[in-house]
Copies of this chain bind each other. A is one copy, B any other.
Amino acid sequence: MPNIEYLCDTNKTLTGVLNVMSKCEQCIVRQFSSLKALTKEELLNLSDCKTLYTIKKGEPVFNEGEKLQGVFCIKDGVCKMTKLNANGNEQIVKLISKGELLGQRSLISEEPVNLSAVALDDMQVCFIPKAEVMKFFNQNNQFSMNVMRTICGDLKEADDHLVTMAQKSVKQRLAEVLLYLHDTFGINEEDKSLMVKLSREELAGMIGTATESCIRLLSEFNKSGLIALSGKKIIITDSDKLRKI
């Protein structure tokens, strides 16, 4: 992972230069996260101590087991939160995108992160040091409540996700994931293909199945006219039928 501690402690110049271009106060993304509860003054402080980061497609923001020194606010891009199992298979637990905070759970629990975060496309993230976040917890109750509500939402999603994994067939799970990608991240205007591009292997990793099974089912959906495939691109052509699988 990028060596955040190093950059944050020593590269004051770089940090400063980057910050000129991105005052937190004007950052629209902030409005969608728990940070929306911060006061003007708190935002000014935040602007000074944050570090803007660019992470290239395929690179990790952090890896399972690392200790974080703060949280990341996603300004742009999408990443996958993953976990390796004993066989070396990668399970994608969820996708996280613009406006969300990464690593809050780890900070609160004072534990290493439980999941890896890997960029699915080029990302821009702001790193906010631990001390700053903890200060907000102490002085801004609304912020605390926002974080708590977010985590409660995550917990509900995780429980629901669990039931899906435990009770539904691979086919149903694939249909569900395709609809989720469609509804959450949208489609390209020109060709109506899903905006988030995952390899077949990654798609299989979201569903918890073998890559071949995933490919086979995509072919089947294609033949049945539920979706259209053109190279890596997936276009949902009959979302109603997909929903009824």
- Interface 9-mer from A50-58, A120-128, A147-155: A147-155
- For A156, the chain B residues whose CB sits under 8 A away are 105, 109, 111, 114
**Closest residue of chain B to A93, judged by CB?**
B159
A interface size (C-beta, 8 A): 38
A85 / chain B contacts, CB cutoff of 8 Å: 163, 167-168
Tell me if A158 counts as interface (CB < 8 A to partner B).
yes
* Interface residues as binary, A216-239 with B (CB distance below 8 Å gives 1, 0 otherwise): 000000000000000000000000
The answer to whether A109 and B149 touch (CB under 8 A), given A93-B159, A167-B89, is: yes
A167–B204 alpha-carbon span in the complex (Å): 11
Q: Which of B114, B148, B207 sits near A159, CB closer than 8 Å?
A: B114
Residues of B within 8 Å of A161, CB to CB, are 162
Q: Is residue A138 contacting chain B, with contact meaning CB distance below 8 A?
A: yes
B-chain residues with CB within 8 Å of residue A158 when the two chains form the complex? 155, 158-159, 162
A159-B115, A165-B208 as given contacts; A152 in contact with B93, CB under 8 Å: no
A131: CB under 8 A from chain B?
Answer: no
**Complex: how many Å from CA A168 to CA B162?**
13
Contact residue among B91, B114, B115, B151 (Cβ-Cβ distance under 8 Å from A167): B91
Which of A87, A138, A161 has the most chain B CB atoms inside 10 A of its CB?
Answer: A161
Task: Say whether A17 faces chain B, with CB atoms less than 8 Å apart.
Answer: no
Choose from B91, B148, B151 the contact partner of A163 (Cβ within 8 Å): B91
For chain A residues 153-178, which have a beta carbon within 8 Å of chain B? 153-156, 158-163, 165-168
Partner of A162, one of B93, B109, B144: B93
Q: How far is the CB of A142 from chain B (nearest CB, A)?
A: 11
Minimum C-beta distance from A86 to chain B (A): 9
The 6 closest A-B pairs by CB, nearest first: A166-B208, A158-B158, A165-B165, A109-B152, A85-B167, A105-B152
Told that A105-B156, A114-B156, A155-B155 touch, could you supply 4 new A-B pairs with CB distance under 8 A? A91-B166, A91-B167, A108-B149, A167-B208
